[in-house]
Amino acid sequence: MRRDCAQGLASVLVVMLAASAAGCTGPPRPPAGARPTPASRTAGITQRPRAAADPGVRRSMLLGYSVRHRRIVAIEIGDPDSLARALIVGCIDGNEPAGIAIATTLAGGPPPAEADLWIIPDLNPDGVAAGTLANSHGVRLNRNFPYQWQPLGPPGSASYAGPRPLSEPETRIAAALIKRLRPRLTIYYHQPLTVVDDSQGPQAIERRYAELTGLPRRPLTDYPGSAAGWQDTLLGPTAFVVELPAGSLSPASARRDAAAVADVLPRG
């Protein structure tokens, strides 16, 4: 069922944009609102400018656009030369946005010294704007990855997996980034089950995360088309889900989870 998508690869525009935090590094920003041009595209991470003198980069990159042309951005903090890469996705189901607060807390925190941490605060900005689980095509992104993909649900239903794997720009953006980064750890935040998934992923890290946050750990259903299932199949046990409580996170809770992420980051 796995199906690579050249269109998806092309959509991962590792284009340096305005770094949102002070002290950022990176090339000059294009004009505000500018669309990336072919000349501004790079072949990816291996060709980005090195920051050998500054192991603690903090920079923001435009990865691509949602169905409704909202920006999907990643923030990279830490040592860009480290192979200990990790990815945090604050939100993939649009009506489960609490993890965005963890992502932004991490993005504003100290860069890890021995890891390269990538943060996508919001992979589904159309869903967040509309308050819907799915993206603007009505596709549940976490059923659209090429992991045992099945044509689940009719269009408009909560389980609609889309017409084919990686049919959506949002999932193509995530899949292409993951294939390029090959992160040793990826965490996806969901709501509202209040549990750390006891998954086929990195179980020691799941246990540690649960200990640090006080969240219970138990197995969640392994759905076809899920992002974590796809990554675990591609890269080995590296991805898992944290289900946060319903509602928005308090700043203290966001800091607690951000600290847990910092604790479990790979190092090297």
Question: Which part of the chain contacts Zn ion (CB under 5 A), choosing from 27-35, 98-106, 117-125, 185-193?
Answer: 185-193
DSSP state of 94: T
Binding mask 188-207 for Zn ion (x = CB under 5 A): --x-----------------
What token pair was written down for 140? 């549940």
Residues forming beta bridges with residue 59, ordered by sequence position: 76
Q: How far is the CB of 217 from Zn ion (least distance, A)?
A: 17
Sign of CA dihedral 57, 17, 120, 44: negative
Q: How many positions of this chain bind Zn ion (CB under 5 A)? A: 3
Q: How far is the CB of 38 from Zn ion (least distance, A)?
A: 35
| Position 122 contacts Zn ion (CB under 5 A) | no
Q: How far is the CB of 174 from Zn ion (least distance, A)?
A: 14
| Position 96 contacts Zn ion (CB under 5 A) | yes
Q: How far is the CB of 241 from Zn ion (least distance, A)?
A: 8
Question: Which part of the chain contacts Zn ion (CB under 5 A), choosing from 24-32, 159-167, 184-192, 212-220?
Answer: 184-192
Distance separating alpha carbons of residues 191 and 172, to the nearest angstrom: 23
8 Å CB contact between 80 and 52: no
Distance separating alpha carbons of residues 131 and 99, to the nearest angstrom: 15
Q: How far is the CB of 56 from Zn ion (least distance, A)?
A: 32
Q: How far is the CB of 196 from Zn ion (least distance, A)?
A: 14
8 Å CB contact between 109 and 258: yes
Q: At what angle do helices 251-264 and 203-213 cross, to 10 degrees?
A: 150
Q: How far is the CB of 139 from Zn ion (least distance, A)?
A: 14
| Position 170 contacts Zn ion (CB under 5 A) | no
User: Between residues 90 and 266, which has the closer beta carbon with respect to Zn ion?
Assistant: 90
Place of tokens 């193509």: 172
Binding mask 50-89 for Zn ion (x = CB under 5 A): ----------------------------------------
User: Between residues 107 and 123, which has the closer beta carbon with respect to Zn ion?
Assistant: 123
Distance separating alpha carbons of residues 156 and 170, to the nearest angstrom: 17
Question: Which part of the chain contacts Zn ion (CB under 5 A), choosing from 3-11, 26-34, 94-102, 166-174?
Answer: 94-102
Distance separating alpha carbons of residues 36 and 16, to the nearest angstrom: 10
Q: Which H or E run contains 264?
A: helix 251-264
Contacts of residue 205, Cβ cutoff 8 Å, sequence gap at least 6: 185, 240, 264
| Position 93 contacts Zn ion (CB under 5 A) | yes
Binding residues (CB under 5 A) for Zn ion: these are 93, 96, 190
